[in-house]
Amino acid sequence: MTRGLLIVCWALVGLATVPATGQDELGGVPFSEREMYRPTPTPDRIILTFADDPATTLAVTWRTSADVTKAVGQIALAEDGPDFQLSGKVTTVEAVTEKLDSDLSLAHYHSVIFKGLQPKTRYVYRVGDGSNWSEWFQTCTASDQAEPFRFIYFGDAQNDIKSMWSRVIREANLEAPRAAFMLHAGDLINRANRDAEWGEWFNAGAWLNGMIPSIATPGNHEYAKPVRPGMSKEEADALKNQVSLHWRPQFTMPMNGPKVEGLEETVYYVDYQGARIISLNSNEKHEEQAAWLETILAKNPCKWTIITYHHPMFSAAKGRDNPRLRALWLPIFNKYGVDLVLQGHDHTYSRSDLVVGDTNVTEGATTQSQNGTVYVVSVSGPKMYILERHQTAKRAAERTQLFQIISIDGDTLNYEARTAVNTLYDAFTLKKRPGQPNELIERVPEVEERVGKTVYPNAEAAQKD
């Protein structure tokens, strides 16, 4: 026994001397991406989303090999034991199927929308073709009342998703295992149409994606020319950037956005237990979205309004200002009292005070007041930029991977930003006051700001991307 322990200890010492950046020296042979992410008849890339009222509907999307031409989803009320799967208890819904010919393989993506569900009720569901099934996933519909809930917000995952982002989404789940949904503020991946990167993203979230619904908005890295296998260079050069070929096949989002071609399932809203969550697409067609935003904010029945999009209203990195967004969207945010805006893109962290833009805001001037919106820029992946602190910033960070937990309970919204190792880095509370502006209560922990940290030598040059 002693000798065996000694051998194990020496083996661990030997492994500890291998540098993390020199894994190729170990002599391993890279596994083909085509094989690694090859679809099979067994469902994978399963993701739960909201397609309509989250109290009565749930949407599920998944991938299979192209030989699966007919697929279904099955759903039942969850029970304490296995009897939920008995005959008569399970409802079967036929899936909608579409083909996606990616850079790696031909696949079929299937989606179902389970309708007529009971609010605030736990369900089990599975997807498959009758022979090849997923596991039974367990999830819960929203309440149809304004009850307490919390959700997780992620900035850009984008790069080294498998190796460096997986720990963040999993740590976030440990902190908020009963989160109502996960919100992704764009740049989920780096190259819009790279199947392997989407494979990494889905693998990082794994079974969480099938149990906790996702709300996602596209970033600039979800946009590219839709080049397909076999296209000539001339054909490819004539194409315009558009949202990833993977976006709509793999995400079933609400279709309540503006009736504008190209914005489908990227601009939408979800009303969740007293909060209106709005996704805008900061990549294109800003004017059309502004007109639509006016209409849905003017008739907003919810106490809280949260908006997500990718490019920040007030940039937190050098050379990345977005004056056009401020000119078009900021006046609408101010007019209707948007409470919180969740953004990405700048690969830093920045959280504002309550902010209202004045008439000079397009030149970068703002005023601080007790009536305004809190703006957050965050990053969850490992790609980092140099911070350029905007005058609105109350708390900031560089070289820090974060996730955010946001909780709503009646008139109170609590916000926490936590690092990849779950250190509380930033916190505040917003309180609704009848007939008065929100009250912002700072709860910043006594943790030194992570600014002026070492960055990659080429970080400044990379910030154009």
Average pLDDT, integer, range 80-87: 95
- Predicted confidence (pLDDT) per residue in 226-237, tens digit: 887 788 888 888
Per-residue pLDDT for 462 more than 70? no
Average pLDDT, integer, range 437-463: 79
E strand or H helix at 248 = helix 247-250
**CA 6 from centre of chain:** 46
- Predicted confidence (pLDDT) per residue in 419-447, tens digit: 999 999 999 999 999 888 899 999 999 99
Per-residue pLDDT for 207 more than 60? yes
Position 19 scores a pLDDT of 54
Q: Which two tokens stand for residue 263?
A: 């914005």
Q: Sheet harboring 374-377: ordered strands across?
A: 268-272, 275-279, 304-308, 340-343, 374-377, 349-352, 393-397
Query: CA separation (Å) from 224 to 152, 156, 268?
Result: 27, 17, 21
Position 10 scores a pLDDT of 40
Residue 58 binned pLDDT confidence (cut-offs 50, 70, 90): very high
Name 232's Cβ contacts closer than 8 Å, sequence gap at least 6: none
- Predicted confidence (pLDDT) per residue in 137-193, tens digit: 999 999 999 999 999 999 999 999 999 999 999 999 999 999 999 999 999 999 999
Position 453 scores a pLDDT of 64
Average pLDDT, integer, range 393-416: 98
Q: Which of 25-29, 46-50, 107-111 has the lowest mean pLDDT?
A: 25-29
Compute and round to an integer the Cα radius of gyration of the chain. 23
Per-residue pLDDT for 454 more than 70? no
363 CB-side CA count, 13 A? 4
Per-residue pLDDT for 344 more than 90? yes
Please, where in the chain does CATH 2.60.40.380 lie? Answer: 36-140
What integer best gives the mean pLDDT of the chain?
A: 91
Specify the residue for token string 């008439």. 359
| C-beta separation of 4 from 11 below 8 A | no
| Cα–Cα distance measured from residue 334 to residue 355, given in angstroms and rounded to the nearest whole number | 9
Helix-helix angle 166-175:195-205, to 10 degrees? 30
Architecture of domain 36-140: Sandwich (2.60)
| Cα–Cα distance measured from residue 216 to residue 265, given in angstroms and rounded to the nearest whole number | 9
Per-residue pLDDT for 281 more than 50? yes
Position 14 scores a pLDDT of 47
Per-residue pLDDT for 109 more than 80? yes
Per-residue pLDDT for 461 more than 70? no
Please, where in the chain does CATH 3.60.21.10 lie? Answer: 149-462
- Predicted confidence (pLDDT) per residue in 388-403, tens digit: 888 889 999 999 999 9
**CATH H-level, domain 149-462: superfamily:** Metallo-dependent phosphatases (3.60.21.10)
Label residues 414-437 b or e (16+ Cβ within 10 Å = b).
bbbbbbbeeeebbbbebeeeeeee
Position 20 scores a pLDDT of 60
Per-residue pLDDT for 363 more than 90? no
- Predicted confidence (pLDDT) per residue in 320-330, tens digit: 788 889 999 99
Per-residue pLDDT for 24 more than 70? no
Position 214 scores a pLDDT of 99
- Predicted confidence (pLDDT) per residue in 284-306, tens digit: 999 999 999 999 999 999 999 99
3 state SS of 412: strand
Position 448 scores a pLDDT of 94
DSSP annotation of 164 reads: I
Position 224 scores a pLDDT of 95
Residue 3 binned pLDDT confidence (cut-offs 50, 70, 90): very low
Per-residue pLDDT for 7 more than 50? no
